[in-house]
Amino acid sequence: MPNKKRSCQKRRVNKDLGEVIMKPYVGVWTSKNEMLQIGYRRALEFYAECGITTIIVGYEGMRSEYYNKLRKIPPIRGEETPPTLRDICKMAEDLGLGVEVVIDPKSSELARNFPETAVVDFMGNRSPSISCPSNPDVMEYILARIRDVAENYEGIIGLELDGLYIDMHPRMTNPYGQPGALYPLHHVAPESCFCEHCIKLAKEESVNIELIRKTVKELTELSLKSSPEAFYRFYDVFRGAYDMVRFLLNYPELVEWLNFRCRIVERALRTIWETVKSINPKLMLSDDMLPPAWSWSVGQDYRKHKSYCDYYKIIFFHKRTGSFEVNPLIAIKDKIPSIPEEDIMCLFKRLTGYEGSPSFALFSQHGFPPINVYYEIRKAREEVGANYPLVAGIVGDAPATPSDIEAAIIMAAKGGANGFCLHTWYGRTTPSNYAAFGNKGRELAKQVSSN
Ligand SMILES: [Zn+2]
C-alpha cells in the first residue's frame, strides 16, 4: 500500500518560516486509454507506489449552463466516459495523490470546429490546429471551461495550461509534411498571427504591423526558396550567436514582432490567471512552456509570463525530440537533395546549441542528449530568478529507457529544477520508466518557499 505520508499535494500555507509555494512535485501526465488497460485504480496505485505525487488528467465532460450563454460557440463537448473526473478525484484522494486538470488554451478543438477562431498567417491562411488567444470567442470558451472545472471539483489542486502560445505549424511537435523552410528564417520571422483581433491590438499599441507583415512575407518567401545558393547564403553567414545580433539589427521590426507576440500571449494568460484566482486563490495555475531555446518563437516569455502562473512546466522531449525536430530538416533535404544532411545538421547545431550526432538517423533516434536539459533549465532559471518554481517535463515513452529518464532528471535537478513531470501522452511508457521516474524524482524534487 502506498504510504500516506508520501502524499505531497501542493498548497499555499502561511508559516513563520515563509510561505510554501510548492511541495516536492513528481507528476505524471496520465493516458486514460493506457491506464484502463490495467484498470484505472490499479494504475493509480502503481503510480503512488513508484513515488509519484500528482496526476495530470483531462476533463471530457461539460455542464451546459457554463456554455449556454457563449456568444458564438455552442457546447462542443460530450459525456464523460468512466471513470469520471469525480471518480478519479476520489481514487486519487484515497491514495494521497494530487489531481491537476488540463485546460487547452490554444484549443485545437475550436480551430477544427470553428476555423474563424484559428490564427492567421501573413497570407490570410488559417491554422488547422491552433486558435488565437486574442479572439474574444476563444477566450470566452476557455474561461467557461475553467469555471466548469474550478467551481465543481474542490478536490483538485491545480489547472495546467496545455501550452498557451501562437503557432502556425505546431512547432512543438513539428508534424511531418510541412514545406521545407530554411533556418533560421522561419523561427525569427514567425508567420502568425495576423487575425483582425491581433491587428487591432497592434494598432492600439502603435506596433507597425504593416511593416512587420511586409518583412515577414519577404523573409518567409526567402525561407521557402529551393536552391543550394539560398541554403548556403544562411549556412555561410550564421556561423555563431553574434551573427544573429547582426541580422536582427537589420530587421528591428522583427524584434518588435517577437515582443508583441509575447504580449498577446501575456494578455490572454493574465485574463486566465485573474479568472482562476477569483474562483479559488489556492488553486494553482501552471503553464506548459517550450524550452527557452525555442519559446520566444511561439510568443512565450519566461521573464514576463511568470507573474500570471504559479509555476512553469518546461516540455522536454529530449530522447523523443529528435523524431519530431528532424521532420523540418528532412523537408529541407527533400526539397534540395544536393545539400548533404551534415550541412543541414551543422547549421541546426549552430543555431540551437544541439550537441549530438550530425546525422538525421541518429538525431531522430537519440534526440537531444541529457546535457541539453541542464542547459535549458539553467536558461529558464536565469530568466525567472532563484525562487520561482520550475518543473522539468521529461518524456516517458520508449525508446526512452529508465537510464535515459534518470539522466534527464539528474541534469534537470543540477540545472535548478524544483520538480519533475513525466509526459506519457504518446503511449509506450514502460512500467520500469514510471518506476525510474518516480524514484529518482522523489529523491531530487525540492520544496519551494517564498524565502
Ligand atoms: Zn490573432
Instruction: Classify 4-121+130-171+259-325+354-449 by CATH class.
Output: alpha beta
CA of 121 from ligand 1 middle (Å) equals: 9
CB 389 within 8 A of CB 380: no
173 Cα to the center of ligand 1, angstroms: 21
Do 420 and 394 touch, CB atoms closer than 8 A? Answer: yes
Please tell me whether the peptide bond between 184 and the residue prior to it is cis, using omega within 30 degrees of 0: yes
3-state SS assignment for residue 432:
helix
Per the structure block, which three cell numbers stand in for 259?
515582443
CA 248 to centroid of ligand 1, rounded, Å:
24
Q: In sequence order, what are the beta bridge partners of 56? A: 29, 100
Q: How far apart are the first and last CA of the chain?
A: 35
Query: 82: closest CA among 128, 112, 146, 39?
Result: 39
Q: Using N-to-C axis directions, what is the helix angle for 196-204 and 252-279, rounded to 10°?
A: 100
Residue 367: per-residue pLDDT: 87
Cell numbers standing for residue 416: 535548478
CA of 135 to the centre of ligand 1 (A): 6
Helices 341-352 and 318-335 cross at an angle (nearest 10°) of 130
Residue 426 Cα to ligand 1 midpoint, Å, equals 29
Specify whether the CB–CB gap between 298 and 171 falls below 8 A.
yes
The CA 123 to ligand 1 mean position distance, Å, reads 13
- The contacts of residue 4 (CB under 8 Å, 6+ apart) are 96
Q: How far is the CA of 261 from the centre of ligand 1 (A)?
A: 9
Question: How far, in Å, from the CA of 343 to the mean position of ligand 1?
Answer: 36
Cell output for 108: 485545437
Grid coordinates given for 435: 518506476
Distances (CA, A) of 348 to 233, 298, 360, 363, 365: 14, 18, 11, 11, 17
Give the Å distance between the CA of 175 and the centre of ligand 1.
Answer: 22
Distance in Å, CA 66 to ligand 1 centroid: 25
**Grid coordinates given for 50:** 513508484
Put simply, whether the predicted model's pTM sits higher than 0.75 gets the answer yes
pLDDT of 448: 87
Element (H, E) at 57: strand 54-57
CA of 90 to the centre of ligand 1 (A): 40
- Per DSSP, the three-state class of 284 is strand
Q: Contact 212/256 with Cβ under 8 angstroms?
A: yes
DSSP string across 214-276: HHHHHHHHHHT--SHHHHHHHHHH--SHHHHHHHHHH-HHHHHHHHHHHHHHHHHHHHHHHHH
Indicate the domain borders of the chain: 4-121+130-171+259-325+354-449
* Residues in the chain where the model's pLDDT stays below 70: 1-18, 77, 425-426, 451
Q: How far is the CA of 247 from the centre of ligand 1 (A)?
A: 26
Rounded to the nearest angstrom, the distance between the alpha carbon of 289 and the centre of ligand 1 is: 19
Are 229 and 169 a contacting pair, CB within 8 Å?
no
Distance 193 CA to ligand 1 centre (A): 5
| Max Cα–Cα distance, the chain, nearest Å | 67
Amino acid at 331: A
Q: Provide the pLDDT for residue 316.
A: 84
Cα(429)–Cα(160) distance, integer angstroms: 21
Distance from residue 131's CA to the centre of ligand 1 (Å)? 8
Q: Residues 72, 267, 30, 398: what is their CA dihedral angle, to the nearest 10 degrees?
A: 120
Neighbours of ion ligand 1 (CB under 5 A): 132, 134, 193, 195, 198
As given in the structure block, the three cell numbers for residue 303 are 521573464
18 C-alpha vs ligand 1 centroid, how far in Å? 41
Contact 141, 73 (CB under 8 A): yes
Q: Map grid coordinates 450563454 to a residue.
A: 69
* C-beta neighbour count of 62 within 10 angstroms: 18
Peptide linkage before 399 cis (omega within 30 of 0): yes
